[in-house]
Amino acid sequence: MSKYKLFLLRHGEGAWNKENRFCSWVDQKLSENGVTEAQDCGKLLKEQGYKFDIVFTSILSRSIQTAWLVLEAMGLEWVPVVKAWRLNERHYGSLIGLNRAEMALLHGEEKVKLWRRSYDITPPVIDESHPYYHEIYNDRRYTTCDVPIEKLPRAESLKEVLDRLLPYWDSTIVPEIRKERNVLISAHGNSCRALLKHLEGISDEDIASVTLPTGIPVLLELDENLRSVKPRQLLGDQAKIQAAIKKVEDQGKAKVKKM
């Protein structure tokens, strides 16, 4: 029996989503299209009569910006937005900044799919020679975390994302849901997928085929034990949603340039 509702949202399209690059912990703002996606999401939620009491985001700008735009479109700018690194996107290690399609040409689509979608395979770690290492680890936002900077991830599998997300889920988000407050989590593709795996009991194998497009709200109905009791609902025009899912799935496919 459904007792609680929870909304998950992968942020609107970012600049590097558009360029098909592994963005991960590099801080990027939304693209022009991403701004529109977030605004449209807020309008849809308002039209369908939903309201929020609290919003949780990562500490990456594209997640926060999406939350702000959604709340503005809903006329809910006053709603608290709580930020935490534990909702950050998966850390893609040394793959950060690389183009997925070009990587597929170099390493094969299956290898890139394993790096992107598998549950327990960790990509190569980032080190100080990486062009984005210092940009990430010298960023002042990471001095606000509940672990020291040197203990923050240098690369993560989806399993490791879930491992660092669950303590925050249990300690901070769950109590708000149990108070029957309306909760939105505005986060990232992989932090949302990790949470879906936990709430829906998705197998290690099947999680590879779960795709969340940018800017599409996901409604979950949960029981007393905070487990999903119905299939997740992606809200909006279903034809557009399916096209957006295919676009995400095609990101890791090799694109041969035409001569």
Q: Assess whether 11 carries a catalytic annotation.
A: yes
Asked if residue 57 is part of any domain, the answer here is yes
Q: State yes or no: 142 annotated in a binding site.
A: no
Identify the pLDDT of residue 197.
98
Asked if residue 209 is part of any domain, the answer here is yes
Asked if residue 162 is part of any domain, the answer here is yes
Q: Which residue in the list 11, 37, 156, 200 is annotated as catalytic? A: 11
Under 8 Å between Cβ of 123 and 115:
yes
Q: State yes or no: 11 annotated in a binding site.
A: yes
Identify the pLDDT of residue 258.
47
Distance spanning both ends of the chain, measured CA to CA? 58
Q: State yes or no: 16 annotated in a binding site.
A: yes
Parent domain of 81: 15-31+52-235
CATH (domain of 27): 3.40.50.1240
Instruction: Taking the CA atoms of 119, 124, 127 and 129 in sequence, report the sign of the dihedral they define.
Output: negative
Both structure tokens of 220: 């979950």
Residue 150 CB partners (closer than 8 Å, separation 6+) = none
Q: Report how far residue 137's alpha carbon sits from residue 132's, in angstroms, rounded to the nearest whole number.
A: 9
Q: Report how far residue 83's alpha carbon sits from residue 56's, in angstroms, rounded to the nearest whole number.
A: 6
The number of domains in the chain is: 1
Identify the pLDDT of residue 104.
81
Asked if residue 258 is part of any domain, the answer here is no
Q: What is the pLDDT along the chain (259 residues), one digit of tens a residue?
A: 899 999 999 999 998 888 889 899 999 999 999 999 999 999 999 999 999 999 999 999 999 999 999 999 999 999 999 999 999 999 999 999 998 888 888 778 888 888 888 899 998 999 999 999 999 999 999 999 999 999 999 999 999 999 999 999 999 999 999 999 999 999 999 999 999 999 999 999 999 999 999 999 999 999 999 999 999 999 999 999 998 888 787 765 555 454 4
Asked if residue 126 is part of any domain, the answer here is yes
Q: Assess whether 89 carries a catalytic annotation.
A: yes
Identify the pLDDT of residue 100.
82
Q: State yes or no: 14 annotated in a binding site.
A: yes
Asked if residue 222 is part of any domain, the answer here is yes
Asked if residue 76 is part of any domain, the answer here is yes
Q: Which residue in the list 37, 89, 156, 200 is annotated as catalytic? A: 89
Asked if residue 94 is part of any domain, the answer here is yes
Identify the pLDDT of residue 40.
97
